[in-house]
A = this chain, B = another copy of it.
Amino acid sequence: MHSRAVRERGNTTKRNRLHPAQVVVSGFALTILVGTALLMLPNARVGPGAASFLEALFTATSAVCVTGLTVVDTAVYWTPFGQIVILFLIQIGGFGIMSFASVVGLAIARKLSLRSRMTAAAETKSVGLEDVKGLVVGVVRISLAIEATVALMLALRFMIGYGEPVGRAVWLGVFHSVSSFNNAGFALFSDNLMGYATDAWICLPICAAVILGGLGFPVIVQLRRQLRAQVRQPFRWSIRTWTMNTRIVIAGTIVLLVLGTAYITAVEWSNPNTLGPLGWPGKLLVGFFQAVQTRTAGFNSVDIAQLDSATLLGMDVLMLIGGGPAGTAGGIKITTFAVLFFILWTEVRGQVAVNVFGKRLSRAVHREAITIALLAVGVIITATAVLMLMTDISLDALLFETISAFATVGLSTGITAGLPWGGQVILILLMFIGRLGPITFASAIALRERHATYELPKERPIIG
């Protein structure tokens, strides 16, 4: 009955399929180091002396990983030069992750479609340099177009509404637009965006940029194609060509935004330190803004430290789920969560196959999703436990901080700067792992060649 534990081994291909991941991880690390060096220059910091290595490393990592956690006040600690460095680090990080994820997505799609078509031209399996170039150009063009639009709207508002001179208004517009689309959450105000909590002209364009960036590049491309088709044929509206990825991301984004807004607004409705003093349009605007930002961007228009702990717990869930894949969003991604949810739903309804929007969900994806979710939860719990041993801060605040770092959100109850250096190093590692871990790991799983030599007899334990 019991056969010896001889097991098949997955042969990782010899055709260097993992190179893109290695390139990107090294590229991110190198960018962070260069950013750290630049931020340590004396003219990056206001006042005498230079930023410490840890301050610079933390800020550079937070910028490149588009997280937005800070140990110093971006608005007053860094000079305009320092802020420009941060801006570039954010933009490079955003381009980098979108391009990398899109290339990987293309490679996976190629591999799978080849396998199903049973054509064996090995060279077409790998993604050519031409494809990569095309993708990167696409990423850059779309990003810049959206960023320019939002920057213009913000700059106009800063001029008209707040009397800023043109130069400063444009700078504010560009910085916050780039920070928004790349879901970075860095702001040039000491209280982040709390000063503009009820200014819809500031908040809504930022939300639009955040949501678009968080959908992920493949979804943006498909939406753009759809938009063009609608322009040509305005009365033939159809989403038949949408991929399962696009459907899940769009539906998931809508559901999470509606639920998030409802939850945050309801819980905080009469909290005197947050939504309490506002009228109901203000409550709704701030609630919506915070629901949007929590999913990964990390701006805040209320004081996070004043939120009810039930709100923080709900935000933990939103942060962990995050946004769409192959974009600037963090977290385990909507798609990963959706796969787990659809599996649950299938079991509850007693169906045979996991069907999602009229397609059957590939079985290999089940195990990928479990793996990513479990690893994420494991990393977060481990980091939280270590931080608890280091400090006397409450679970509330520490869990929020670690999830915020891992999911590259950047919201904080205000404990970041006060953590011991070991704690800040843990956050740096969490940001890096959270930014590159899921995509690198998931793509390694999906791209690996697997060869089963033979099947073992089947058995099952008791569940539940």
Give me the interface of A with B, judged by CB distance under 8 Å. 1-5, 7-10, 12, 101, 105, 108, 112, 116, 216, 218, 240-245, 248-249, 267, 308-310, 312-314, 317, 325-326, 332-333, 335-336, 338-341, 343-344, 346-372, 374-375, 381, 384-386, 388-389, 394-396, 399, 438-443, 445-446, 448, 450-452, 455-464
Contact status A450-B351, CB under 8 Å:
yes
CB distance from A325 to the nearest CB of B (A): 4
Which B residues lie within 8 Å of A359 (CB)? 2-3, 456-459
- Evaluate whether A352 and B451 lie within 8 angstroms (CB atoms) in the complex, with A244-B459, A308-B388, A358-B5 already known: yes
Contact status A325-B462, CB under 8 Å:
yes
CB distance from A395 to the nearest CB of B (A): 4
* Copies of this chain present: 2
Contact of A365 among B10, B244, B460 (CB under 8 A): B460
Which B residues lie within 8 Å of A440 (CB)? 464
A245 CA to B464 CA, complexed, in Å: 12
Which B residues lie within 8 Å of A332 (CB)? 464
A333 CA to B462 CA, complexed, in Å: 9
Contact of A343 among B351, B370, B451 (CB under 8 A): B370
Interface of A is mostly: helix
Which B residues lie within 8 Å of A340 (CB)? 370, 374
- Evaluate whether A339 and B101 lie within 8 angstroms (CB atoms) in the complex, with A308-B389, A353-B452, A451-B352 already known: no
A357 CA to B461 CA, complexed, in Å: 12
Among the interface residues A101, A359, A440, A451, which one has the most CB atoms of the partner chain B within 10 A? Answer: A359
Contact status B462-A105, CB under 8 Å:
yes
Closest to A352 in B: B452
Contact status A314-B385, CB under 8 Å:
yes
- Evaluate whether A462 and B1 lie within 8 angstroms (CB atoms) in the complex, with A10-B349, A389-B267, A395-B395 already known: no
Which B residues lie within 8 Å of A267 (CB)? 389
Which B residues lie within 8 Å of A12 (CB)? 350
Contact status A7-B462, CB under 8 Å:
no
Report the 8 A-B pairs with minimum CB-CB distance, sorted nearest first: A10-B350, A442-B464, A438-B464, A325-B462, A352-B452, A310-B388, A362-B460, A335-B461
A352 CA to B339 CA, complexed, in Å: 20
- Evaluate whether A463 and B351 lie within 8 angstroms (CB atoms) in the complex, with A313-B384, A363-B363 already known: no
Taking A362-B459, A394-B395, A395-B396 as given, write out 9 further A-B residue pairs in contact, using a Cβ cutoff of 8 Å, ordered by the A residue number.
Answer: A101-B462, A243-B459, A243-B461, A325-B464, A335-B462, A352-B450, A353-B455, A361-B460, A395-B399
Contact status A358-B3, CB under 8 Å:
yes
